[in-house]
Amino acid sequence: MGSVTSLTCVVCSAHYIERPGLYTCPSCGDLATLKVSYDYEAVRKVMTRRTLDAKPLVDLWRYLPLLPVREVGNLMSLRVGGTPLYNAPGLRAKSGFPDLWVKDDTINPSGSLKDRASAVTLLKGLEMGYTEAAVASTGNAAASLACISASMGVRCHVFVPAAAPKTKLAQLAIYGADVITVQGSYDEAFKLCIEACEEHTWYNRNTGYNPYTVEGKKTVSMEIVEQLRWGTPDTVIVPVGDGCILSGVWKGFIDLYRLGFIDQLPRLIAAQADGSQAIKRAFDGDGVIRSVEVDTIADSLAVSMPRNGTMAVQDLRASKGMAVVVSDEEILEAMKLLGQTTGIFGEPAGVVSLAALLRLHAENNISTKERVVLMVTGTGLKDVDSALKGFST
């Protein structure tokens, strides 16, 4: 099963019932994301800690009653989610955090956490009657939609800035997506994608726009809780570009909390590159997202005007969390440290969580006694040129 009961605007708190064509809040505009709620009483009747414990953790469809899609059927063949949570003894020793965990989402089918969102939104779009889908993306979301669409036999259209890394462009070609290369920024690609979706009646998977991407991404937190045997981490450190993964992570914990499956919530840390810190500035300031100049090696985090910024800042505050920025040098050092102590090769945007942990530690903003989960969100194989920069000195 799985069914949406309502959508709430994070800006004006207006409620809506789901319908095709409803993405952000019609009265507040493009940057007012909608939050999805369920009938938790109904969910509890079909999904409990016991029913979950009885099933091996293979993929994210175990959470179907808490997802906005009715059924999975034969459409979905790739394994999405069900990624490992590592105890990483080498990194624990080296960092001095004995209760540190690494959630490795690099092994999703297209190599990033975005597959969770692509799988859920694509099924949702098909249930709503759409036959084709589209996305604007700096790379990972596009590669992910292309990958999942190919596996389902669905045509997809991706709008990418011409500057996207070559590997991500190669993925699009291999998966057979219709690629629209935009001579401009991510923000311009985003705008073009919205217009094209309206014109051609394509389902729009844009991050921070389609309300169901958060629902797909939240499954990562549910897995973490199950992998910790229904334990809540003290702190979860999340790479943050437009803030959609952070809101997904928070939504996962909130849903489990509302269901009564956990009785504590974690503190979230938003890890940003200092060359792309719109959410950090809003969080430390008045909460209003303003466009920033962007310059970072972490291409997946490079967002001038975060689409999901408002929701992310709200969620960060609700978790009593904070935002941390790190330099490109710290990111490259973290990439090496992660590889050398765990055997996980993350992309720059994927390892900013580890860089943030080290920064928090150096600034005495975290206790080594905490149970900390680092989210590693994308594989380094997609951006080898950046990785090699860490060795040029």
> In this complex, which beta carbon is closest to a copy of itself, that of residue 74 or of residue 183?
74
Q: Strand, coil or helix: what is 273?
A: strand
| Nearest-approach distance from CB 107 to a copy of itself, in angstroms | 5
Pairing of strands 34-37, 6-9: antiparallel
| Nearest-approach distance from CB 368 to a copy of itself, in angstroms | 20
> In this complex, which beta carbon is closest to a copy of itself, that of residue 87 or of residue 304?
87
Q: How many CB atoms lie within 10 A of CB 286?
A: 9
Using CB under 8 A, list all residues that contact a copy of itself.
56-58, 74, 77-79, 84, 86-90, 107, 109-111, 146-153, 166-167, 170-171, 173-176, 335-336, 339-345, 379-382, 384, 387-388, 390-391
Question: What are the beta bridge partners of residue 147?
Answer: none
Pick from 335, 345, 351, 337: nearest CA to 271: 351
Q: Strand, coil or helix: what is 84?
A: coil
| Nearest-approach distance from CB 73 to a copy of itself, in angstroms | 11
> In this complex, which beta carbon is closest to a copy of itself, that of residue 105 or of residue 215?
105
Amino acid at position 199, single letter: E
- The per-residue DSSP string of 274-332 comes to TTS-HHHHHHHTTS---------S-GGG--SS-TTHHHHHHHHHHTT-EEEEE-HHHHH
> In this complex, which beta carbon is closest to a copy of itself, that of residue 48 or of residue 167?
167
| Nearest-approach distance from CB 155 to a copy of itself, in angstroms | 11
Q: 285-290 contacts: CB < 8 A, separation 24 or more?
A: 287/313, 287/314, 287/317, 289/31, 289/313
First to last CA, the chain: 54
| Nearest-approach distance from CB 96 to a copy of itself, in angstroms | 16
Which token pair is 209? 């726009």
Q: How many CB atoms lie within 10 A of CB 369?
A: 10
Pick from 270, 370, 281, 274: nearest CA to 331: 274
> In this complex, which beta carbon is closest to a copy of itself, that of residue 105 or of residue 315?
105
> In this complex, which beta carbon is closest to a copy of itself, that of residue 275 or of residue 348?
348
DSSP label of 4: -
Pick from 374, 354, 385, 382: nearest CA to 140: 382
Is 142 in contact with 299 (CB distance < 8 Å)?
A: no
Q: CA 304, CA 296: separation in Å to the nearest integer? A: 11
| Nearest-approach distance from CB 153 to a copy of itself, in angstroms | 5
Pick from 145, 117, 119: nearest CA to 133: 145
> In this complex, which beta carbon is closest to a copy of itself, that of residue 342 or of residue 377?
342
Q: CA 221, CA 240: separation in Å to the nearest integer? A: 15
> In this complex, which beta carbon is closest to a copy of itself, that of residue 12 or of residue 93?
93
> In this complex, which beta carbon is closest to a copy of itself, that of residue 12 or of residue 58?
58
| Nearest-approach distance from CB 351 to a copy of itself, in angstroms | 10
Q: How many CB atoms lie within 10 A of CB 237?
A: 26
| Nearest-approach distance from CB 81 to a copy of itself, in angstroms | 12
> In this complex, which beta carbon is closest to a copy of itself, that of residue 150 or of residue 374?
150
Amino acid at position 81, single letter: G
| Nearest-approach distance from CB 46 to a copy of itself, in angstroms | 21
| Nearest-approach distance from CB 265 to a copy of itself, in angstroms | 27
